[in-house]
Amino acid sequence: QVRLVESGGGLVQTGESLRLSCAASGIIFSINVMGWYRQAPGKQRELVASISSSGYAAYADSVKGRFTISRDNAKSTVYLQMNILKPEDTAVYYCTADVRSSPGSSNLYWGQGTQVTVSS
């Protein structure tokens, strides 16, 4: 199976930055889309950003212009650079990856989640 291991979360003040990393390991033939979701207390899970295997990125309106998603296909790793953080960004952030372990077989995997807290 595939495992996603995240790092980079923490506690910061308003206006500061963090970079999240998520590395996939296991039986990987290829990885299609990778992305980051977040879930704040009392709110539904929200797609923050996603990136295709070719590098096309999409963002939620709430983070557009502040966050940047990127990936290193050789390392099976996706990153989320978060700038100008706001208290509203406080949430548990989850990495996800659509992984093909063989041609024609695809499964969605999730990281364990990492806490990002932005103090006011």
36 C-beta neighbours (distance < 10 Å), count = 28
108 pLDDT more than 90: yes
6 pLDDT more than 90: yes
Q: What phi, psi does 24 have (nearest 5°)?
A: -95, 140
pLDDT tens digits for range 49-82: 999 999 999 999 999 999 999 999 999 999 999 9
pLDDT tens digits for range 24-43: 999 999 999 999 999 999 99
pLDDT score, position 1: 85
pLDDT score, position 11: 98
pLDDT-derived band at 47, boundaries 50, 70, 90: very high
pLDDT score, position 24: 97
CA atoms within 13 A on the CB side of 12: 20
Please give the mean pLDDT across all residues of the chain.
96
pLDDT score, position 104: 86
103 pLDDT more than 90: no
